Amino acid sequence: MTAGLEHNKDLLQQAVALLASGSQVDIRNWIHSLYPAETAYVLESIELEDRAKIWAVIPANVMSEILVKVNVSVGASLLKMTDRKDLIAATEHLGSDGMLDLLHVLPEPLLSQVLESIGMHKRQYFEKALAYDEHTAGSLMSQDVLVIRADVSLDVVSRYLRLRGQLPQATDSLIVVDRNERYQGLLHINRLLTADPHSKVETVMDTRTTGLSFRMSSRDVATLFERLRLLSAPVLDDNGKVVGRITLDSVIGLIRHEADHSLMSMAGLQEDQDIFEPVVDSAKRRALWLGVNLLTALLASAVIDLFETTIQQIVILAVLMPIVASMGGIAGSQTLTLVVRGLALRQISGINSGKLLNKEVLVGLVNGLIWAVVVSCVAGIWFDNFHIGILLGTAMIINLVCAATAGVLIPVALDKMGIDPALAGGVLLTTVTDVVGFMAFLGLATLFLL
């Protein structure tokens, strides 16, 4: 990992140095020495003006490979700099999987123009692939599959593979079908190489691995690959016929995408964010989320305003009340993160969510009692007023229990409503912990100190 990060750092330093020198020849020679993935990293890490200088020296036959490796926002900026004839010509050098990846990121009308430039047979192939719903197994799969029959010998299979000349990328097994192309099982390559060549496929194939429905959610596909340690899996239609194959490469890309999505969503950002996009575009992306946070902050302020008289008479409350809200926010975030991860891995459902809620409430209660004693003593000694300390500790217990409850219920409810809990959960949780924390502390102070 460290070596990879250092390599990326070196690439960026080289790019900055070459761009500063201004020599297009040096830039071209350097770019031609890089892999497409390395060029993609450099393009994502530099400003728009420098990005244009590098993109100008990239050969047309490499452009398409780079476009499928950069994030969507950066890809969009590169497409604006690309001659459409060059892009269409570049697609001729792509394999079917690479071509499909490119088509997924092309906007209209460019997508239609590229499809029109290829032959009718290929166009139908790609249009069928693009028709599968996003975030399903169908959208992840490759249609480049190799199928064999169960009633032939391993020797026949070996001779067939030699005649074919090559295997689909990342092939660890061959898909076995019957006469009607319905899935029967898998013939692992190691069995093909080590078993008696006169054996029938049906006697050595693996029937334990079931095919995946093309409708299965991509998140469930990733979970299944991780749980069963799969390298590839066949994808089936509603009639059990093989329509494609998903490889570990696709799942790894999906996992990275989901991780980026979860991380960026916590801040109200998109996972395809271009870090060097124009200031106005960045401001527009973030303005809505800042507005939502402003509304929640105003709600918390309105609660404080209800106790204006109390705060005026006991000024030290204003010093201590952020402690309650802050502790509740941290405790709630811990629970929220745990639950969001559990929902993503399908570890949480209606079956066990009640037990999880009980457990998290108890955790909140235990931590609340522990830290209530600590903060009561600190506040009592600090302000020489142990009544204030006791009220502060009591409010903290209330807020930590409520934070734990909200940390479970909010993401579960959002997930049931089809709303991404990673995106909206944090804001709602912060609102709850702020409002409950201020209400509990100031309300108790009003009842017992005035």
What's the rounded Cα separation, in Å, for the pair 46 and 274? 10
- At position 239, the amino acid (one-letter code) is N
What's the rounded Cα separation, in Å, for the pair 172 and 137? 19
C-alpha to C-alpha distances, 43 to 23, 69, 177, 276, nearest whole angstrom: 17, 10, 44, 10
Q: Where are the beta strands (DSSP E) in 96-172?
A: 147-149
Q: 147-265 adopts what CATH topology?
A: CBS-domain (3.10.580)
| Superfamily classification of domain 279-449 | SLC41 divalent cation transporters, integral membrane domain (1.10.357.20)
Which pLDDT value is given to residue 145? 85
What's the rounded Cα separation, in Å, for the pair 107 and 91? 15
Span 365-386, average pLDDT: 90
Q: How confident is the model at residue 448 (pLDDT cuts 50, 70, 90)?
A: confident
Instruction: Among 77-86, 233-242, 273-282, name the most confident range.
Output: 233-242
What letter would DSSP give residue 141?
Answer: -
User: pLDDT averaged over the chain?
Assistant: 85
Contact in structure between 61 and 90 (CB atoms under 8 Å): yes
* Tally of residues, the chain: 450
Across the strands, what pairs with 203? none
Percent of the chain with pLDDT over 90: 32
Q: How confident is the model at residue 155 (pLDDT cuts 50, 70, 90)?
A: very high
- pTM score > 0.85 for this model? no
Domain-wise residue ranges, the chain: 2-133, 147-265, 279-449
What's the rounded Cα separation, in Å, for the pair 199 and 373? 74
Which residue did the predictor score with more confidence, 203 or 256? 203
Q: Which residue has the tokens 């993160």?
A: 337
Across the strands, what pairs with 185? 176
CA 24-30-35 angle, to 5 degrees, is 130
Please say if the pLDDT value at position 91 is more than 80.
Answer: no
Which pLDDT value is given to residue 437? 92
Please say if the pLDDT value at position 265 is more than 70.
Answer: no
Those residues whose C-beta lies under 8 Å from the C-beta of residue 26, and which sit 6 or more positions away, are 18
Span 296-325, average pLDDT: 88
CATH fold match for the domains 147-265 and 279-449: no
Which pLDDT value is given to residue 273? 67
For the structural domain made of 2-133, what CATH number should be given?
A: 1.25.60.10
Across the strands, what pairs with 358? none
Q: Which residue has the tokens 């830039």?
A: 27
In the numeric block, which tokens belong to residue 128? 């069928």
